[in-house]
Chains A and B, each alone.
Chain A
């Protein structure tokens, strides 16, 4: 195949067979780059996240090297790179600290959190002290430190995963375990995901203990430093803290943000799409790469495509959203249609972002459609809450009155259609189920609005149904 210098004709043509594999590799490369999506900046001035990363790195560095007690709060909207930033900072550290990861979603009470701290501590000090030869000299002192830890003392000399550790420690241990964090032989980094949820625990005792320990860190000479990093997207988190907790918190808030300008957003899209494959066959890879790069260029200069991306950007700067959209776009590529077009994006956005509710009801069966129409009729006549019998009655009337009753439907299948619709929660029961009300008299409400039903009816393509539906609009 001659290398395509002509670009515009390419996008419409099918792919030659020998490039099929390259297309698959390309898809794969794009998915990989989307998964490890980083914000890249090509401007001279550093982005918000660059500054934040530097601040965070400085802070952790202070703990690691100077044994400081630090606390900070990472604040930023969803998927703006908070967790990733923390991971990067920790990965860049030369010596490994003890990392305690807690999440407000999982550790819903302080006791759970405490047990999790104990468990992670055990895992990390146990394993690293035994395996790491560099730290072997510290091991002796480390074990003596550990003995001061009242929690670990109970485990005796061989603390390796005895069953008893897994029982919830009484909350009175809280005040002894957390200060003991200072006594272990390595610096400790505590990462609190969903920080705001910890603030909602009663009396905020976990936060109090942690932050109190941070504050006391400077006082004790032997301490190795501790850092508490909270992550949240809730803006008023600091206000949630009690006074005694707030006064122990350093007040340092590091803000993250997603893409600030459409240009950087678009750069991200471009760089994700042109992720390089690691093909072995260089000629083939070269040929493919040329084709693909030119097609992406065409794609990203298309006015309609730019508009639709701009709209998405204006609606949400969530990186995960654009990831999903790009993923759905790329998944639609086939050897017959190997290059991205506006249609791909439109379909992807319809499926992933602006999900219209009728999308999920592509083709309902005939009885279900009838019931939907009947429910619209019931709504029009002033009864938004209906029973199955009401719908069935109106359906029977319709069959009786219009001569063009298309298919005879008896009780059986239309009743099943009602079951299907309520299983799909299109018909929601108004009250809870009770044994005293027969099923056909259970009161329901339709969750679809008239416009959606209209689309469903139009899709079904039956004239008599459409007529019946339009009767409801006149009244």
Chain B
């Protein structure tokens, strides 16, 4: 029962509670819930158990601990699950040369313990006796198994039948054993009905505090070449991490994500310093003429005495640090926006947002980081460029489908209905006032734009397409004498095979979605428009159509 070292800062409570339990008399079933930083918790538990299992059994600690981690994402069948547990408990690695055979206890179960739960129990007992005989050669200590089931909520979908036996594993196998479930969701969501499982010992992980996230030491390798990971930059790094946590912590509490953002931004952040250092090394004589603005005057004397470059790295003056902070702080939130949803990866992002060379030597007015805004809506922009190469008719079809997906069918006649004689639209929606009046009657209506696209019959879309074309395209057409009735040519246009082909093409591009099964013959096929509102706005702009006038419920 030694003092248990905390593997990861911020997990002292867990280390104490969990470590004490496991090393003394653990409850047969423990449930650990962590909503926010699951991966870090998994690492912490793993490190804890590794430490505990490395402890030799002693008189105060009479059980040697063996543990195994099972990830429920990877172990999606019961065989995989059983094999993962027992092979790691006994430390067996299947090797390709042996035909990847599982561990088999001498004579006991004959290697078939992965078949079903009852065989698995026999396998566990055999494993316990094997491990026991391993340590019994030295002394008469016991064996304790700890089985960590990670992401236990997956069991509910993939292996619901083994949840109850797992939670009762200790009493079923009758060996010293503790099952630990770790999950993002609560036990209430997994618990089998009718009280089939005993209630676990609950441990709730508090989200890591901001303070506990700070001291991630810089990776200290490569002493000779001057990389961003040089130990000389340690103090600057800690300042940097503090600033980064201040900016990003409100948005995510996951240490992993913060580390990812740090990894993307840090090389860029310290690049100006490294550039500066290189520059000084290049021309050691005449340096005092050109670079003074970034070094404090009082530092100046010291600088003359010391080896210039390294000292500059060790202790960048407050002024330099402030300058760096000021330059880079806006990019931190950009990094968060781009990297948290993984719109880009860390390496690409770092490359794209690399500061210009010799940033610190520029006068403060000119030194700024360009293109920081460019990456913000890069995905939308990329989509827009892909749209630009669509044929004009396809763009109209997309626009018509968007209108058909967003507007209620009843509104079509109001929006697109025209009299025979007049070209101008008669009226547009008179709806907003009406709905405001009888608002109290029921729940307020939610705009279809927020609820997502509805499906529409192809005929309706074609009709809207006709109206759109008639209004926006008719005057551009060459005069064709064979059409006498107004709108006849458009009618002709929209019934061409090309239109149907374009619809199918757009469907295959997944810009439209076919909502009705393809083998249904009766009735027109149903489609759904899957482009976003922003996308539709871009399209409308390209086609010079006022989209907001066409929407029943404009923004």
Taking beta carbons and an 8 Å cutoff, which residues of A are in contact with B? 24-25, 27-28, 31-32, 34-35, 78-79, 83, 103, 105-108, 112, 115-116, 119, 160-163, 166, 320-321, 323-324, 327-328, 331, 351-352, 355, 357, 359-367, 381-383, 387, 389-390, 393, 407-413, 415-417, 420, 423-425, 436-438, 440-441
Contacts and interface: CB of A to CB of B under 8 A. Distances in A.
Contacts of B413: none
B35 A360 contact: yes
Interface in B224-265: 250-253
Contacts of A34: 25
Contacts of A417: 251
Secondary structure class of chain A's binding surface, majority of residues: helix
B198 A320 contact: yes
A387 to B, nearest CB: 6
B19 to A, nearest CB: 10
Given A106-B118, A413-B340, A425-B153, A366 B251 contact: yes
Nearest to B194: A234
Given A411-B341, A417-B251, A425-B189, 16 more contacts: A31-B25, A35-B25, A103-B165, A116-B118, A161-B110, A163-B112, A324-B27, A355-B186, A359-B204, A360-B204, A361-B35, A362-B204, A362-B207, A412-B337, A412-B343, A437-B452
A25 B20 CA distance: 11
Contacts of A420: 35-36
Contact of B119 (A32, A166, A407): A166
B153 A436 contact: no
Given A27-B20, A163-B110, A424-B185, A410 B376 contact: yes
B450 A389 contact: yes
B155 to A, nearest CB: 14
Nearest to A414: B251
**Which 8 residue pairs are nearest across A and B when measured between Cβ atoms?**
A382-B443, A441-B452, A31-B25, A366-B250, A412-B337, A389-B450, A425-B185, A412-B341
Contacts of A321: 199
Contacts of A163: 110, 112
Contacts of A416: 252, 340-341
B27 A327 contact: yes
A407 B247 CA distance: 10
Contacts of A437: 452
Contacts of A105: 164-165, 168, 172, 196
A364 B36 CA distance: 8
Contact of B116 (A31, A112, A359, A360): A112
19 contacts: A32-B25, A83-B171, A112-B118, A320-B198, A327-B21, A327-B27, A331-B17, A355-B186, A360-B186, A362-B204, A364-B36, A365-B253, A393-B450, A407-B250, A411-B341, A412-B338, A412-B340, A413-B340, A416-B252
Given A112-B116, A324-B27, A424-B35, A78 B107 contact: no
A362 B206 CA distance: 6
A237 to B, nearest CB: 13
B75 interface: no
A390 B450 contact: yes
B493 interface: no
Contacts of A407: 250-251
B117 interface: yes
B35 A27 contact: no
A43 B188 CA distance: 39
B451 interface: yes
A365 B33 contact: no
Nearest to B337: A412
Contacts of B340: 412-413, 416
Contact of A390 (B1, B112, B161, B451): B451
Given A106-B118, A361-B35, A324 B204 contact: no
A263 B253 CA distance: 47
B443 A381 contact: yes
Contacts of A323: 27
Secondary structure class of chain B's binding surface, majority of residues: loop
Interface in B486-520: 513, 515
B336 interface: yes
Given A161-B109, A331-B20, A412-B338, A382 B442 contact: yes
Which of B20, B27, B251, B449 is most buried by chain A, counting CB atoms within 10 A of its CB?
B251
B530 interface: yes
B221 to A, nearest CB: 32
Which of A34, A160, A425 is most buried by chain B, counting CB atoms within 10 A of its CB?
A425
A393 B21 CA distance: 47
B428 interface: no
A108 B116 CA distance: 11
Interface string B52-93: 000000001000000000000000000000000000000000
Which of B188, B450, B530 is most buried by chain A, counting CB atoms within 10 A of its CB?
B450
A352 B110 CA distance: 41
A35 B26 CA distance: 8
Given A166-B112, A382-B443, A423 B184 contact: yes
Contact of A413 (B24, B172, B207, B341): B341
Interface in B20-40: 20-21, 24-25, 27, 33, 35-36
B108 interface: yes
Given A28-B25, A407-B250, A413 B115 contact: no
A450 B202 CA distance: 25
A413 B443 contact: no
Which of B121, B343, B446 is most buried by chain A, counting CB atoms within 10 A of its CB?
B446
Contacts of A412: 336-338, 340-341, 343
Contacts of A112: 116, 118
Interface string B94-120: 000000000000011110100111110
B125 to A, nearest CB: 10
Contacts of B108: 161
Interface string B147-187: 00000010000000100110010011000000000001110
Nearest to B453: A441
A462 B349 CA distance: 32
Contacts of A107: 118
B252 A106 contact: no
A355 B333 CA distance: 37
B444 A382 contact: yes
B528 interface: yes
B518 to A, nearest CB: 13
Contacts of A103: 165, 168, 172
Nearest to A440: B452
A355 B451 contact: no
A460 to B, nearest CB: 9
B432 interface: no
B24 to A, nearest CB: 5
B122 interface: yes
Contacts of A382: 442-444
Contact of A360 (B33, B115, B336, B376): B33
Contacts of B483: none
A417 B251 CA distance: 8
B207 A106 contact: no
A106 B172 contact: yes
B201 interface: yes
B190 to A, nearest CB: 10
A381 B444 contact: yes
Contacts of B164: 105
A387 B450 contact: yes
Given A163-B110, A415-B341, A424-B35, A387 B451 contact: yes
A24 B33 CA distance: 26
Contacts of A441: 451-453
A147 B121 CA distance: 28
B481 interface: no
Contacts of B202: 324, 351-352, 355
Contacts of B443: 381-383
B193 interface: no
Nearest to B380: A411
A9 to B, nearest CB: 27
B370 interface: no
